[in-house]
């Protein structure tokens, strides 16, 4: 069977059905992955829609059918604040899902926090080393099984923003940001090559304010202008969207099934 890495757009009637659908597909796919290999590696990010998906996974009756002890979690980006701070993506992910499942603490790979390292560059270096330690072959990072990404109204993913040099930086797996357009200004983020070293990238978009960026990305805009346009999973890249976010998607790009 030939595996393609084409992009697909799956449209849902509203935000709630979007979250439930992604959660159901996520659980099914993780079970499939764990039947084929000893572990699964997942990347999660922040944002309201990502939170919606993690909470929906936690609420699913099928949640405990996953052997979470064989699943590792990584982060696409993180805010450079103290551990436990409400702004941290790992804090919210804990509330939404990770605190409720039997995941091994050693398999939860958090970015460093203020007070744990001398500065953000030291935290970035430590995360690069951790990624390298779990990489396959000559890769600099793991081949993540599923990466879940939210997308901002400006088309940013993780903490890779339009017209910022980090979106073009392929020199490292982990980059630092000191002037994020969204507070807090200092952040850590996976680079685009590290994100694209994922077997499957699932991007979740809800709301009319996301329609323009999605339309531009699918129309061939460059990653400098619309960072989400640069995302391409090794096997599959899927946009899970609600009807409002799909307003500018050409009909021929909308898939009827996964």
Residue 255: band (very low, low, confident or very high) from pLDDT cuts 50, 70, 90: low
The per-residue pLDDT for range 9-20, each reduced to its tens digit, is 999 999 999 999
- Kindly give the pairing relationship between strand 236-242 and strand 40-44: unpaired
Which stretch of DSSP H or E encloses residue 26? Answer: helix 15-36
- What's the chain's average pLDDT? 93
Per-residue CA distances from 116 to 55, 63, 82, 157, 218 (Å): 28, 33, 8, 26, 40
The per-residue pLDDT for range 90-123, each reduced to its tens digit, is 999 999 999 999 899 999 999 999 999 999 999 9
Q: What is the DSSP letter of 144?
A: B
At residue 229, what are phi and psi to the nearest 5 degrees?
Answer: -65, -20
CA distance 133 to 114: 23
Which pLDDT belongs to residue 95? Answer: 95
Domain boundaries, the chain: 7-253
Contacting residues for 119 by C-beta, under 8 A, at least 6 apart = none
- The pairs formed by 164-173 with CB atoms below 8 angstroms and a separation of 24 or more are 166/191, 167/192, 167/223, 167/224, 167/227, 167/230, 168/223, 168/224, 172/124, 172/128, 173/127, 173/128, 173/131, 173/132, 173/140, 173/141
Which stretch of DSSP H or E encloses residue 128? Answer: helix 120-133
The per-residue pLDDT for range 190-200, each reduced to its tens digit, is 999 999 999 99
CA distance 142 to 67: 20
Three-class SS of residue 237? strand
The owner of tokens 């953000």 is 120
Task: Please check the confidence at residue 187 and state whether its pLDDT lies above 90.
Answer: yes
* Domain covering 7-253 in this structure, CATH number: 3.40.50.1360
Give mean pLDDT, residues 31-60: 94
Residue 252: band (very low, low, confident or very high) from pLDDT cuts 50, 70, 90: low
Task: Please check the confidence at residue 1 and state whether its pLDDT lies above 70.
Answer: no
Residue 7: band (very low, low, confident or very high) from pLDDT cuts 50, 70, 90: confident
The per-residue pLDDT for range 146-165, each reduced to its tens digit, is 999 999 999 999 999 999 99
């Amino acid at each position: 069977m030939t595996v393609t890495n084409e992009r697909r757009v799956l449209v849902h009637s509203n935000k709630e059905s979007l979250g439930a659908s992604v959660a159901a597909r996520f659980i099914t796919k993780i079970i499939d992955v764990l039947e084929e290999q000893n572990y699964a590696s997942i990347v999660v990010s922040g944002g309201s829609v990502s939170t919606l998906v993690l909470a929906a996974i936690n609420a699913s009756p099928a949640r405990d059918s996953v052997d979470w002890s064989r699943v590792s979690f990584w982060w696409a980006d993180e805010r450079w604040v103290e551990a436990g701070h409400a702004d941290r993506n790992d804090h919210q992910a804990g509330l939404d899902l990770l605190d409720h499942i039997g995941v091994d603490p050693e398999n939860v790979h958090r970015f460093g926090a203020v007070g744990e390292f001398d500065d953000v560059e030291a935290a970035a270096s430590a995360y690069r080393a951790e990624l390298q330690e779990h990489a396959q072959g000559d890769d600099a990072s793991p081949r993540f099984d599923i990466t879940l990404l939210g997308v901002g109204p400006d088309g940013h993913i993780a903490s890779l923003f339009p017209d910022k040099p980090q979106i073009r930086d392929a020199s490292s797996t982990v980059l630092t940001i000191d002037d994020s357009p969204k507070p807090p200004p200092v952040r850590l983020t996976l680079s685009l090559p590290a994100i694209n070293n994922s077997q499957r990238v699932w991007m979740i978009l809800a709301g009319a304010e996301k329609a323009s960026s999605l339309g531009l990305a699918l129309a061939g805009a460059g990653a400098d202008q619309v960072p989400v346009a640069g995302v391409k999973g090794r096997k599959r890249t899927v946009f899970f969207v609600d009807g409002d976010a799909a307003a500018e998607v050409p009909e021929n790009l909308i898939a009827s099934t996964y």
